[in-house]
Structure 1
């Protein structure tokens, strides 16, 4: 006859199944667990908390007199100068021009770069032909082309759009090529087994499989395009956020400079969220991978 334990707690521990899940850790402790996801609400609160801490530190250093207003305007001064930009200096027009230039150059780069990247990823002969030149151009700073672009296209809108195109195109091509070329071989072999031809492999296996990552690539490169447009507007421009920053620098108006930088960040953040939302709607199935 088997022996039984006289300790009720020990008996309960023995009787409990080994697979019983542990009690969930408190939210504050889960934040310290590596790779542990956080809720959407916690993510928003943490993100807003950082901005609040940043603005508070900025206010302490400027309003407290630790930094001269000549070198760094206070948050209050920045807001006041931003209001003047919109009400007296037609800053909304400058924002519109900058957004148009970014979208124009980026759309042109995506329209040419995505098909070329798909071709390089799908056909190794195409990759061998284009990849050395594209890799070489990828390391060239886009700002170095400004003198040549001014000679070729003047100082109008075409020069700025071409600069954004150059800065974005080669990045898109290589990143898309790597994404398409990394397709799962088992899916390709299964498609051949089911009777797909070479064209069907590209259009029905490689492109659909890489589409979510291609969209993510475009989202990332759009952020880089914003850096190029400001460089383009710093030289030979009569409108745009970059032009306003240059004028403000000549007047030592750090409030307007900071406001222009913040506007760029806000527009970029909004476009990033819009891109993410569009990707989730277009490729909802990719979350199941």
Structure 2
């Protein structure tokens, strides 16, 4: 039987995260070493690492990564700046939820790839178009999640504020927002992960650099090692982002069980 969360030491929890990746890496090395799969379809780990080293030494990796990170940060930040007030208002005022929820719930199911032609018409082919795609891929889900963060706080906290004679604005400012902040921060962590998944889509059209663009170019020439390295590197950057948000959340909200 598995032990409960609180019974697992941190070092064991940390070490457990390496078990499955190491097993998959060994299986990957074994399959490619035995020649069970042609390198065109699955290059070996050493080939992928070699491709990464080539990009690093030639300066390609830093250039692509810096451009992509800039687009990710700006796209997610713009979506967040708009989603936070809209989500808080929807979660706190039923009439605002009634106004916006049907539209936002419908829009979040629209495929972002299908909006690429419109995004080019609206924003051209520069960074603005890439940022717009990242915004559209993040904003709608983030707004609804923030709304739920606000709606799902303990009703007894609100009743306590009413008993103390707080106005609606005071309840929102002094009770609802502090109680919802740990959940909202966790929403930030999750949604910036979604933004990373839209990177290749955002850099699909008229991009001269970027990790996603490098992957798309490699597809044309069947450079499978470049595709694999780029995909894994994006995953590692996303994992680093997730870790930073987790650490920051634990520091900011030590009193909350949601950040443990």
* Aligned equivalents of 1:158, 1:165: Cα separation in 2: 10
User: Which has the higher mean CA deviation after the structures are superposed, 224-233 or 87-96?
Assistant: 87-96
| Partner residue in 1 for 2:139 | 169
Instruction: Say which SS state the counterpart of residue 65 (structure 1) adopts.
Output: coil
Instruction: Say which SS state the counterpart of residue 225 (structure 2) adopts.
Output: helix
Instruction: Say which SS state the counterpart of residue 77 (structure 2) adopts.
Output: helix
| Partner residue in 1 for 2:2 | 33
Q: CA deviation at 1:145?
A: 0.9
Alignment partner of 1:52 is 2:17: no
1:188-247: per-residue Cα shift (whole Å, max 9, x none)? 111111121111010011100000000001111111100112111122211100111112
| Partner residue in 1 for 2:168 | 198
Q: Judge conservation of contact 1:143–1:228 (CA < 8 Å) in 2.
A: no
Q: How does 1:141-220 map to 2 (within 5 A)?
A: 141-220=111-190
Q: CA deviation at 1:287?
A: 2.6
- Flag the 1:88–1:33 CA change in 2: closer, same or farther, 3 A: closer
User: Which has the higher mean CA deviation after the structures are superposed, 245-254 or 69-78?
Assistant: 245-254
Alignment partner of 1:65 is 2:35: yes
| Partner residue in 2 for 1:247 | 217
* Aligned equivalents of 1:91, 1:190: Cα separation in 2: 55
1:42 to 12, 34, 37: 12
**Structure 2 unmatched runs, 5+:** none
| Partner residue in 2 for 1:7 | none
Q: CA deviation at 1:89?
A: 5.6
* Aligned equivalents of 2:108, 2:216: Cα separation in 1: 28
Q: How many residues align?
A: 258
- Alpha carbon RMSD of aligned pairs, Å? 1.5
Q: Judge conservation of contact 1:180–1:210 (CA < 8 Å) in 2.
A: yes
1:97-122: per-residue Cα shift (whole Å, max 9, x none)? 11110100000000110111000001
| Partner residue in 2 for 1:125 | 95
Instruction: Say which SS state the counterpart of residue 285 (structure 1) adopts.
Output: coil
* Aligned equivalents of 2:187, 2:58: Cα separation in 1: 39
* Aligned equivalents of 2:49, 2:258: Cα separation in 1: 44
2:232 to 246, 257, 262: 262
TM-score when normalising by structure 2: 0.95
* Aligned equivalents of 1:92, 1:112: Cα separation in 2: 30
Alignment partner of 1:134 is 2:104: yes
* Aligned equivalents of 2:59, 2:146: Cα separation in 1: 41
TM-score when normalising by structure 1: 0.86
